[in-house]
Amino acid sequence: MYRTAASRLRALKERTINRGLTRFASTSAVATKTSSGGFFSWLTGEHSSSLPPLDFPLKDVTLPPPLPDFVEPGKTTITTLPNGLKIASETSANPAASIGLYVDCGSIYETPASFGATHLLERMAFKTSREHMGYTYDALKTYVPQMVELLIDSVRNPAFLDWEVSEQLHKVSAEVSECSKNPQHLLLEAIHSAGYSGPYGNALLASESAVNRLNSAVLEEFIAQNYTASRMVLAASGVDHEELLKYAEPLLSDLPKVQRPAEPKPVYVGGDYRHQADSGTTHFALAFELPGGWVKEKDAIVLTVLQMLMGGGGSFSAGGPGKGMYSRLYLRVLNEYPQIQSFSAFNSIYNHTGLFGIQATTGSEFVTKAIDIAVKELIAVATPGEVDQVQLNRAKQSTKSAILMNLESRMVASEDIGKQILTYGGRKPVEHFLKAVDEVTAKDIASAAEKLLSSPLTMASYGDVIYVPSYDAIGSRFHSK
Protein backbone atom coordinates (compact mmCIF):
# COMPACT_ATOMS: atom_id res chain seq x y z
CA MET A 1 0.00 0.00 0.00
CA TYR A 2 2.80 2.41 0.92
CA ARG A 3 4.62 1.68 -2.38
CA THR A 4 1.41 2.38 -4.26
CA ALA A 5 0.97 5.65 -2.40
CA ALA A 6 4.59 6.65 -3.12
CA SER A 7 4.26 5.87 -6.82
CA ARG A 8 1.08 7.91 -7.00
CA LEU A 9 2.81 10.82 -5.28
CA ARG A 10 5.58 10.72 -7.92
CA ALA A 11 2.99 10.56 -10.66
CA LEU A 12 1.18 13.50 -9.12
CA LYS A 13 4.36 15.60 -9.12
CA GLU A 14 5.03 14.80 -12.78
CA ARG A 15 1.42 15.60 -13.65
CA THR A 16 1.67 18.89 -11.79
CA ILE A 17 4.79 19.90 -13.75
CA ASN A 18 3.14 19.02 -17.04
CA ARG A 19 0.02 20.95 -16.08
CA GLY A 20 2.15 23.95 -15.22
CA LEU A 21 3.58 23.96 -18.77
CA THR A 22 0.16 23.90 -20.38
CA ARG A 23 -1.75 26.04 -17.89
CA PHE A 24 -1.55 29.20 -19.93
CA ALA A 25 -3.01 27.41 -22.95
CA SER A 26 -6.14 26.38 -21.08
CA THR A 27 -9.33 28.39 -21.31
CA SER A 28 -11.87 29.21 -18.65
CA ALA A 29 -14.27 26.73 -20.24
CA VAL A 30 -11.73 23.95 -19.87
CA ALA A 31 -10.99 25.05 -16.30
CA THR A 32 -14.61 24.60 -15.29
CA LYS A 33 -14.52 21.01 -16.57
CA THR A 34 -11.34 20.10 -14.69
CA SER A 35 -11.84 18.95 -11.14
CA SER A 36 -9.60 17.08 -8.79
CA GLY A 37 -11.22 14.43 -6.66
CA GLY A 38 -8.83 15.08 -3.79
CA PHE A 39 -6.34 12.83 -1.95
CA PHE A 40 -8.50 9.70 -1.75
CA SER A 41 -9.47 9.91 -5.42
CA TRP A 42 -5.90 9.79 -6.76
CA LEU A 43 -4.90 7.34 -4.02
CA THR A 44 -7.53 4.83 -5.17
CA GLY A 45 -7.20 5.64 -8.85
CA GLU A 46 -10.78 6.92 -9.14
CA HIS A 47 -11.73 9.91 -11.24
CA SER A 48 -14.41 12.30 -10.02
CA SER A 49 -16.89 14.03 -12.28
CA SER A 50 -16.53 17.73 -12.89
CA LEU A 51 -18.45 20.09 -10.61
CA PRO A 52 -20.12 23.28 -11.86
CA PRO A 53 -19.40 26.58 -10.13
CA LEU A 54 -21.64 27.49 -7.20
CA ASP A 55 -23.39 30.25 -9.15
CA PHE A 56 -24.23 27.95 -12.07
CA PRO A 57 -28.01 27.18 -12.26
CA LEU A 58 -28.83 23.55 -11.55
CA LYS A 59 -30.96 21.61 -13.98
CA ASP A 60 -34.65 21.17 -13.06
CA VAL A 61 -34.23 23.24 -9.87
CA THR A 62 -36.56 26.24 -9.59
CA LEU A 63 -35.72 28.84 -6.99
CA PRO A 64 -38.62 30.54 -5.20
CA PRO A 65 -38.99 34.25 -5.95
CA PRO A 66 -37.37 36.51 -3.35
CA LEU A 67 -39.64 38.22 -0.85
CA PRO A 68 -40.50 41.84 -1.65
CA ASP A 69 -39.16 44.66 0.47
CA PHE A 70 -42.53 44.93 2.22
CA VAL A 71 -44.73 41.96 3.11
CA GLU A 72 -48.31 42.71 4.09
CA PRO A 73 -48.98 41.25 7.56
CA GLY A 74 -51.43 38.36 7.56
CA LYS A 75 -54.99 39.05 8.66
CA THR A 76 -56.51 36.96 11.42
CA THR A 77 -59.46 34.89 10.22
CA ILE A 78 -61.87 33.41 12.77
CA THR A 79 -64.45 30.66 12.34
CA THR A 80 -66.89 29.73 15.11
CA LEU A 81 -68.12 26.13 15.03
CA PRO A 82 -71.77 25.36 15.87
CA ASN A 83 -70.70 24.16 19.33
CA GLY A 84 -69.08 27.52 20.13
CA LEU A 85 -65.43 26.53 19.65
CA LYS A 86 -63.39 29.08 17.70
CA ILE A 87 -60.71 28.33 15.12
CA ALA A 88 -58.45 31.25 14.19
CA SER A 89 -55.33 31.67 12.09
CA GLU A 90 -53.15 34.13 10.23
CA THR A 91 -50.85 33.39 7.31
CA SER A 92 -47.18 34.29 7.06
CA ALA A 93 -44.28 33.78 4.68
CA ASN A 94 -42.43 31.82 7.36
CA PRO A 95 -41.72 28.16 6.43
CA ALA A 96 -42.74 27.05 9.92
CA ALA A 97 -46.03 27.25 11.79
CA SER A 98 -47.11 27.44 15.41
CA ILE A 99 -50.46 26.05 16.52
CA GLY A 100 -51.95 26.32 19.99
CA LEU A 101 -55.11 25.10 21.65
CA TYR A 102 -56.05 27.53 24.41
CA VAL A 103 -58.60 26.86 27.12
CA ASP A 104 -60.24 29.47 29.32
CA CYS A 105 -59.21 27.55 32.41
CA GLY A 106 -56.47 28.37 34.91
CA SER A 107 -55.85 28.24 38.62
CA ILE A 108 -58.73 30.66 39.30
CA TYR A 109 -61.11 27.84 38.31
CA GLU A 110 -59.71 25.41 40.87
CA THR A 111 -61.84 24.37 43.81
CA PRO A 112 -60.61 23.19 47.22
CA ALA A 113 -60.89 19.64 45.88
CA SER A 114 -58.79 20.41 42.79
CA PHE A 115 -56.16 22.83 44.14
CA GLY A 116 -52.94 22.28 42.21
CA ALA A 117 -54.62 20.59 39.22
CA THR A 118 -53.40 23.20 36.72
CA HIS A 119 -49.85 22.91 38.05
CA LEU A 120 -49.93 19.14 37.58
CA LEU A 121 -51.45 19.50 34.10
CA GLU A 122 -48.62 21.87 33.22
CA ARG A 123 -46.08 19.31 34.38
CA MET A 124 -47.83 16.57 32.39
CA ALA A 125 -47.16 18.36 29.10
CA PHE A 126 -47.97 22.01 28.59
CA LYS A 127 -48.25 25.38 30.33
CA THR A 128 -50.73 27.36 32.37
CA SER A 129 -51.50 30.78 33.82
CA ARG A 130 -54.05 31.98 36.35
CA GLU A 131 -56.68 32.28 33.63
CA HIS A 132 -55.69 30.00 30.74
CA MET A 133 -54.26 26.63 29.79
CA GLY A 134 -52.13 26.45 26.65
CA TYR A 135 -51.20 23.48 24.46
CA THR A 136 -48.75 24.53 21.74
CA TYR A 137 -46.84 22.93 18.87
CA ASP A 138 -44.23 24.51 16.62
CA ALA A 139 -42.94 22.79 13.46
CA LEU A 140 -42.56 23.10 9.69
CA LYS A 141 -45.77 23.71 7.76
CA THR A 142 -45.42 20.26 6.22
CA TYR A 143 -46.49 18.76 9.53
CA VAL A 144 -49.64 20.84 10.08
CA PRO A 145 -51.99 17.80 9.88
CA GLN A 146 -49.96 15.93 12.50
CA MET A 147 -49.69 19.02 14.71
CA VAL A 148 -53.45 19.55 14.72
CA GLU A 149 -54.21 15.90 15.40
CA LEU A 150 -51.67 15.63 18.22
CA LEU A 151 -52.85 18.79 19.99
CA ILE A 152 -56.52 17.89 19.82
CA ASP A 153 -55.85 14.31 20.88
CA SER A 154 -53.86 15.57 23.88
CA VAL A 155 -56.82 17.66 25.04
CA ARG A 156 -59.66 15.31 24.20
CA ASN A 157 -58.13 11.97 25.10
CA PRO A 158 -55.64 12.37 27.96
CA ALA A 159 -54.72 8.99 29.42
CA PHE A 160 -53.60 10.13 32.89
CA LEU A 161 -52.06 6.74 33.62
CA ASP A 162 -51.52 6.23 37.33
CA TRP A 163 -47.79 5.69 37.01
CA GLU A 164 -47.39 8.84 34.86
CA VAL A 165 -49.37 10.97 37.30
CA SER A 166 -47.38 9.56 40.21
CA GLU A 167 -44.09 10.32 38.46
CA GLN A 168 -45.13 13.90 37.73
CA LEU A 169 -46.36 14.40 41.29
CA HIS A 170 -42.85 13.63 42.51
CA LYS A 171 -41.53 16.28 40.11
CA VAL A 172 -44.18 18.74 41.27
CA SER A 173 -43.08 18.20 44.87
CA ALA A 174 -39.46 18.82 43.90
CA GLU A 175 -40.45 21.96 41.98
CA VAL A 176 -42.46 23.29 44.93
CA SER A 177 -39.50 22.69 47.22
CA GLU A 178 -37.14 24.44 44.81
CA CYS A 179 -39.44 27.44 44.29
CA SER A 180 -39.77 27.88 48.05
CA LYS A 181 -36.11 28.92 47.95
CA ASN A 182 -36.63 31.38 45.08
CA PRO A 183 -37.42 34.77 46.67
CA GLN A 184 -38.66 36.43 43.46
CA HIS A 185 -41.15 33.68 42.67
CA LEU A 186 -42.19 33.41 46.30
CA LEU A 187 -42.89 37.15 46.52
CA LEU A 188 -45.03 37.16 43.37
CA GLU A 189 -47.14 34.26 44.65
CA ALA A 190 -47.34 35.83 48.11
CA ILE A 191 -48.57 39.12 46.65
CA HIS A 192 -51.49 37.27 45.06
CA SER A 193 -52.35 35.09 48.05
CA ALA A 194 -52.21 38.06 50.45
CA GLY A 195 -53.80 40.60 48.11
CA TYR A 196 -56.76 38.61 46.80
CA SER A 197 -59.53 36.77 48.57
CA GLY A 198 -60.93 33.90 46.53
CA PRO A 199 -59.91 32.43 43.16
CA TYR A 200 -57.24 34.99 42.25
CA GLY A 201 -55.43 34.09 45.45
CA ASN A 202 -55.02 30.49 44.23
CA ALA A 203 -51.35 29.73 43.73
CA LEU A 204 -49.90 28.67 40.39
CA LEU A 205 -47.84 26.12 42.31
CA ALA A 206 -49.52 23.27 44.12
CA SER A 207 -49.08 23.25 47.88
CA GLU A 208 -47.69 20.18 49.63
CA SER A 209 -51.14 19.31 50.97
CA ALA A 210 -52.63 19.61 47.46
CA VAL A 211 -49.95 17.31 46.03
CA ASN A 212 -51.00 14.61 48.48
CA ARG A 213 -54.63 14.85 47.29
CA LEU A 214 -54.05 14.98 43.53
CA ASN A 215 -54.56 11.87 41.39
CA SER A 216 -55.87 10.78 37.99
CA ALA A 217 -59.51 11.02 39.06
CA VAL A 218 -59.12 14.65 40.16
CA LEU A 219 -57.54 15.60 36.82
CA GLU A 220 -60.22 13.81 34.81
CA GLU A 221 -63.01 15.56 36.71
CA PHE A 222 -61.30 18.95 36.40
CA ILE A 223 -60.99 18.56 32.63
CA ALA A 224 -64.56 17.29 32.23
CA GLN A 225 -65.88 20.37 34.04
CA ASN A 226 -63.70 22.99 32.38
CA TYR A 227 -62.58 21.79 28.94
CA THR A 228 -65.75 22.63 27.01
CA ALA A 229 -66.11 23.82 23.41
CA SER A 230 -67.21 27.38 24.23
CA ARG A 231 -64.05 27.87 26.31
CA MET A 232 -61.59 26.68 23.65
CA VAL A 233 -59.75 28.41 20.82
CA LEU A 234 -57.53 26.69 18.28
CA ALA A 235 -55.13 29.40 17.10
CA ALA A 236 -52.39 29.20 14.50
CA SER A 237 -49.70 31.47 13.12
CA GLY A 238 -48.39 30.68 9.64
CA VAL A 239 -51.24 28.40 8.54
CA ASP A 240 -53.82 28.97 5.81
CA HIS A 241 -57.24 29.19 7.43
CA GLU A 242 -59.03 26.84 5.05
CA GLU A 243 -56.30 24.25 5.51
CA LEU A 244 -56.57 24.53 9.29
CA LEU A 245 -60.35 24.15 9.13
CA LYS A 246 -60.03 21.08 6.92
CA TYR A 247 -57.98 19.24 9.53
CA ALA A 248 -59.42 20.64 12.76
CA GLU A 249 -63.17 20.87 12.21
CA PRO A 250 -63.82 17.10 11.94
CA LEU A 251 -61.88 16.55 15.18
CA LEU A 252 -63.61 19.29 17.18
CA SER A 253 -67.13 19.68 15.82
CA ASP A 254 -68.56 16.81 17.90
CA LEU A 255 -67.63 18.40 21.23
CA PRO A 256 -70.88 19.06 23.13
CA LYS A 257 -72.17 22.62 23.22
CA VAL A 258 -72.07 23.84 26.82
CA GLN A 259 -72.84 27.36 27.99
CA ARG A 260 -69.71 29.22 29.05
CA PRO A 261 -69.73 29.86 32.81
CA ALA A 262 -69.16 33.28 34.27
CA GLU A 263 -65.52 34.04 34.99
CA PRO A 264 -64.70 34.25 38.71
CA LYS A 265 -64.60 37.85 39.87
CA PRO A 266 -61.48 39.19 41.57
CA VAL A 267 -61.86 40.28 45.17
CA TYR A 268 -58.91 42.47 46.12
CA VAL A 269 -58.44 43.10 49.83
CA GLY A 270 -54.73 43.85 50.34
CA GLY A 271 -52.62 42.24 53.01
CA ASP A 272 -49.20 41.40 54.41
CA TYR A 273 -47.04 38.28 54.01
CA ARG A 274 -43.72 37.74 55.81
CA HIS A 275 -41.40 34.77 55.69
CA GLN A 276 -38.38 34.71 57.99
CA ALA A 277 -35.39 32.91 56.48
CA ASP A 278 -31.80 32.44 57.54
CA SER A 279 -30.33 35.22 55.42
CA GLY A 280 -28.69 38.60 55.80
CA THR A 281 -30.65 39.80 52.77
CA THR A 282 -34.24 41.03 52.65
CA HIS A 283 -36.49 40.73 49.61
CA PHE A 284 -39.71 42.75 49.61
CA ALA A 285 -42.53 43.80 47.30
CA LEU A 286 -45.16 46.53 47.55
CA ALA A 287 -48.20 46.26 45.25
CA PHE A 288 -51.58 47.83 44.53
CA GLU A 289 -54.58 46.92 42.39
CA LEU A 290 -55.82 48.60 39.23
CA PRO A 291 -59.37 47.26 38.72
CA GLY A 292 -60.50 46.38 35.22
CA GLY A 293 -57.51 44.53 33.78
CA TRP A 294 -57.49 44.00 30.00
CA VAL A 295 -61.25 44.55 29.84
CA LYS A 296 -60.48 48.21 30.59
CA GLU A 297 -57.92 48.33 27.85
CA LYS A 298 -56.75 51.93 28.20
CA ASP A 299 -55.92 51.50 31.89
CA ALA A 300 -54.03 48.29 31.11
CA ILE A 301 -51.99 50.02 28.40
CA VAL A 302 -51.17 52.92 30.74
CA LEU A 303 -50.08 50.42 33.39
CA THR A 304 -47.79 48.72 30.86
CA VAL A 305 -46.20 52.04 29.90
CA LEU A 306 -45.84 52.95 33.58
CA GLN A 307 -43.95 49.72 34.24
CA MET A 308 -41.60 50.51 31.35
CA LEU A 309 -41.22 54.10 32.57
CA MET A 310 -40.16 53.07 36.06
CA GLY A 311 -38.13 50.08 34.86
CA GLY A 312 -35.27 49.18 37.16
CA GLY A 313 -33.35 45.94 37.45
CA GLY A 314 -30.29 44.62 39.21
CA SER A 315 -27.13 46.42 40.22
CA PHE A 316 -25.42 44.26 37.57
CA SER A 317 -26.91 44.47 34.07
CA ALA A 318 -26.79 40.97 32.58
CA GLY A 319 -27.95 42.30 29.22
CA GLY A 320 -24.86 44.38 28.64
CA PRO A 321 -23.71 47.89 29.58
CA GLY A 322 -26.42 50.53 29.40
CA LYS A 323 -29.39 48.14 29.30
CA GLY A 324 -32.36 49.97 30.84
CA MET A 325 -30.10 52.61 32.36
CA TYR A 326 -32.46 55.48 31.49
CA SER A 327 -35.47 54.19 33.43
CA ARG A 328 -36.48 56.15 36.52
CA LEU A 329 -35.56 53.46 39.04
CA TYR A 330 -32.10 53.01 37.53
CA LEU A 331 -31.34 56.72 37.44
CA ARG A 332 -32.90 57.66 40.76
CA VAL A 333 -32.30 54.54 42.86
CA LEU A 334 -29.78 51.98 41.63
CA ASN A 335 -27.26 54.63 40.60
CA GLU A 336 -27.60 56.40 43.94
CA TYR A 337 -27.72 53.57 46.50
CA PRO A 338 -25.07 50.83 46.20
CA GLN A 339 -26.66 49.03 49.17
CA ILE A 340 -29.58 48.01 46.93
CA GLN A 341 -28.96 44.86 44.90
CA SER A 342 -32.11 45.02 42.78
CA PHE A 343 -35.00 47.43 42.46
CA SER A 344 -37.65 47.13 39.75
CA ALA A 345 -41.27 47.80 38.88
CA PHE A 346 -43.53 44.86 38.00
CA ASN A 347 -47.09 44.32 36.84
CA SER A 348 -49.48 41.40 36.47
CA ILE A 349 -52.52 42.16 34.32
CA TYR A 350 -55.50 39.81 34.04
CA ASN A 351 -58.90 40.07 32.36
CA HIS A 352 -60.63 41.97 35.18
CA THR A 353 -57.86 43.09 37.51
CA GLY A 354 -54.24 44.13 37.55
CA LEU A 355 -51.41 44.44 40.04
CA PHE A 356 -48.60 46.97 39.94
CA GLY A 357 -45.75 47.51 42.34
CA ILE A 358 -42.06 47.54 43.17
CA GLN A 359 -39.93 44.63 44.30
CA ALA A 360 -36.43 44.97 45.68
CA THR A 361 -33.52 43.17 47.32
CA THR A 362 -31.21 44.79 49.85
CA GLY A 363 -29.26 44.12 53.00
CA SER A 364 -31.43 43.76 56.09
CA GLU A 365 -29.87 46.83 57.73
CA PHE A 366 -30.92 48.98 54.75
CA VAL A 367 -34.45 47.59 54.23
CA THR A 368 -36.22 50.41 56.10
CA LYS A 369 -34.54 53.00 53.88
CA ALA A 370 -35.20 50.92 50.74
CA ILE A 371 -38.92 50.71 51.52
CA ASP A 372 -38.95 54.45 52.14
CA ILE A 373 -37.40 54.95 48.69
CA ALA A 374 -40.00 52.66 47.09
CA VAL A 375 -42.82 54.64 48.72
CA LYS A 376 -41.37 57.93 47.45
CA GLU A 377 -40.95 56.60 43.90
CA LEU A 378 -44.55 55.36 43.72
CA ILE A 379 -45.88 58.65 45.10
CA ALA A 380 -43.70 60.60 42.65
CA VAL A 381 -45.26 59.05 39.51
CA ALA A 382 -48.72 59.82 40.94
CA THR A 383 -47.80 63.49 41.28
CA PRO A 384 -48.70 65.66 38.24
CA GLY A 385 -45.65 67.19 36.59
CA GLU A 386 -43.16 64.68 38.02
CA VAL A 387 -42.87 62.70 34.75
CA ASP A 388 -41.36 64.76 31.95
CA GLN A 389 -42.19 64.24 28.28
CA VAL A 390 -38.74 62.90 27.35
CA GLN A 391 -39.05 60.08 29.90
CA LEU A 392 -42.58 59.30 28.77
CA ASN A 393 -41.66 59.22 25.07
CA ARG A 394 -38.78 56.86 25.82
CA ALA A 395 -41.09 54.56 27.79
CA LYS A 396 -43.68 54.54 25.01
CA GLN A 397 -41.07 53.71 22.37
CA SER A 398 -39.72 50.90 24.56
CA THR A 399 -43.25 49.53 25.05
CA LYS A 400 -43.95 49.50 21.32
CA SER A 401 -40.58 47.92 20.63
CA ALA A 402 -41.31 45.15 23.15
CA ILE A 403 -44.74 44.47 21.59
CA LEU A 404 -43.36 44.21 18.07
CA MET A 405 -40.35 42.15 19.10
CA ASN A 406 -42.52 39.64 20.96
CA LEU A 407 -44.88 39.24 18.00
CA GLU A 408 -41.94 38.27 15.78
CA SER A 409 -42.13 34.90 17.51
CA ARG A 410 -44.59 32.46 15.92
CA MET A 411 -45.48 30.95 19.29
CA VAL A 412 -46.13 34.35 20.84
CA ALA A 413 -48.28 35.31 17.83
CA SER A 414 -50.45 32.18 18.10
CA GLU A 415 -50.75 32.69 21.86
CA ASP A 416 -51.76 36.30 21.29
CA ILE A 417 -54.48 35.20 18.87
CA GLY A 418 -55.84 32.59 21.27
CA LYS A 419 -55.83 34.71 24.41
CA GLN A 420 -57.28 37.79 22.73
CA ILE A 421 -60.18 35.74 21.39
CA LEU A 422 -60.80 34.25 24.84
CA THR A 423 -60.74 37.75 26.35
CA TYR A 424 -62.38 39.94 23.70
CA GLY A 425 -64.11 37.43 21.42
CA GLY A 426 -61.87 38.54 18.54
CA ARG A 427 -58.37 39.72 17.78
CA LYS A 428 -57.40 43.36 17.67
CA PRO A 429 -54.55 44.19 15.25
CA VAL A 430 -51.18 45.22 16.63
CA GLU A 431 -51.66 48.71 15.16
CA HIS A 432 -54.56 49.18 17.57
CA PHE A 433 -52.30 48.65 20.58
CA LEU A 434 -49.45 50.73 19.14
CA LYS A 435 -51.86 53.61 18.65
CA ALA A 436 -53.14 53.19 22.21
CA VAL A 437 -49.55 53.40 23.49
CA ASP A 438 -48.93 56.57 21.47
CA GLU A 439 -52.01 58.18 23.02
CA VAL A 440 -50.79 57.76 26.61
CA THR A 441 -50.11 61.14 28.22
CA ALA A 442 -48.31 62.23 31.37
CA LYS A 443 -51.72 63.03 32.83
CA ASP A 444 -52.82 59.42 32.18
CA ILE A 445 -49.73 58.15 34.01
CA ALA A 446 -50.37 60.32 37.07
CA SER A 447 -54.08 59.45 37.08
CA ALA A 448 -53.42 55.69 36.85
CA ALA A 449 -50.77 55.85 39.58
CA GLU A 450 -53.08 57.83 41.84
CA LYS A 451 -55.83 55.27 41.29
CA LEU A 452 -53.36 52.51 42.17
CA LEU A 453 -52.30 54.12 45.43
CA SER A 454 -55.91 54.62 46.51
CA SER A 455 -56.36 50.84 46.73
CA PRO A 456 -55.27 48.84 49.81
CA LEU A 457 -51.56 48.06 50.03
CA THR A 458 -50.33 44.51 49.56
CA MET A 459 -46.82 43.76 50.75
CA ALA A 460 -44.66 40.67 51.00
CA SER A 461 -41.19 40.12 52.41
CA TYR A 462 -38.76 37.22 52.57
CA GLY A 463 -35.40 36.71 54.29
CA ASP A 464 -34.37 38.74 57.31
CA VAL A 465 -37.72 40.49 57.85
CA ILE A 466 -37.11 41.74 61.41
CA TYR A 467 -36.39 45.29 60.23
CA VAL A 468 -39.30 45.49 57.77
CA PRO A 469 -41.68 48.23 59.02
CA SER A 470 -45.23 47.29 59.97
CA TYR A 471 -48.00 47.08 57.37
CA ASP A 472 -49.91 49.99 58.92
CA ALA A 473 -46.82 52.20 59.05
CA ILE A 474 -46.13 51.71 55.34
CA GLY A 475 -49.78 51.92 54.27
CA SER A 476 -50.32 55.20 56.10
CA ARG A 477 -47.52 56.79 54.06
CA PHE A 478 -49.55 56.46 50.86
CA HIS A 479 -52.76 57.87 52.29
CA SER A 480 -51.05 60.89 53.87
CA LYS A 481 -49.26 61.98 50.69
Question: Residue 407: exposed, middle, or buried by beta-carbon count in 10 A (0-12, 13-18, 19+)?
Answer: middle
Distances (CA, A) of 329 to 303, 384, 415: 16, 18, 31
Mean pLDDT of the region 16-43? 45
pLDDT of res. 320: 47
pLDDT of res. 427: 94
- CATH topology match: 77-252 vs 271-479: yes
For residue 29, is pLDDT > 50? no
pLDDT band at 206 (very low <50, low <70, confident <90, very high): confident
79 phi/psi in degrees, rounded to 5: -125, 130
pLDDT of res. 41: 56
R_g over Cα of the chain: 30
Tell me: the pLDDT tens digits for 31-64?
444 445 555 555 455 555 567 677 777 788 877 7
For residue 18, is pLDDT > 80? no
pLDDT band at 1 (very low <50, low <70, confident <90, very high): very low
Region 271-479: CATH code:
3.30.830.10
253 phi/psi in degrees, rounded to 5: -70, -20
For residue 230, is pLDDT > 70? yes
Q: State percent of the chain over pLDDT 70.
A: 86
Tell me: the pLDDT tens digits for 317-359?
544 444 556 889 999 999 899 999 999 999 999 999 999 999 9
* Strand stretches in 351-454, DSSP E: 354-363
Helix (H) or strand (E) holding 80: strand 77-80
CB 362 within 8 A of CB 335: no
CB 283 within 8 A of CB 374: no
pLDDT band at 263 (very low <50, low <70, confident <90, very high): confident
CA dihedral 75, 81, 85, 86 (to 10 degrees): 0
Average pLDDT of the chain, as a whole number: 86
Tell me: the pLDDT tens digits for 354-408?
999 999 999 999 999 999 999 999 999 999 999 999 999 999 999 999 999 999 9
The SS3 of residue 443 is helix
Whole-angstrom Cα distance, residue 80 to residue 459? Answer: 43
- Residue 140 bridge partners (DSSP): 96
CA atoms within 13 A of residue 220's CA, in its CB half-sphere: 10
Sequence spans of domains, the chain? 1-63, 77-252, 271-479
The SS3 of residue 63 is coil
pLDDT of res. 324: 54
Residue 412, amino acid:
V
pLDDT band at 471 (very low <50, low <70, confident <90, very high): very high
The SS3 of residue 102 is strand
Helix and strand element counts for the chain (H, E): 18, 12
pLDDT of res. 126: 62
Tell me: the pLDDT tens digits for 102-122?
999 888 888 888 888 888 888
Tell me: the pLDDT tens digits for 56-98?
777 888 777 777 787 777 899 999 999 999 999 999 888 899 9
Q: 2-11, 72-81, 202-211, 444-453: which has the minimum mean pLDDT?
A: 2-11
Whole-angstrom Cα distance, residue 94 to residue 136? Answer: 17
CA dihedral 389, 394, 395, 399 (to 10 degrees): 140
For residue 8, is pLDDT > 70? no
What is the distance, to the nearest Å, from the Cα of residue 219 to the centroid of all Cα atoms in its chain?
25
Mean pLDDT of the region 152-156? 90
Nearest to 97 by CA among 89, 87, 105, 106: 89
Q: What angle do CA 392, 395, 397 make, to 5 degrees?
A: 110
Domain topology for 77-252: Cytochrome Bc1 Complex; Chain A, domain 1 (3.30.830)
pLDDT of res. 94: 84
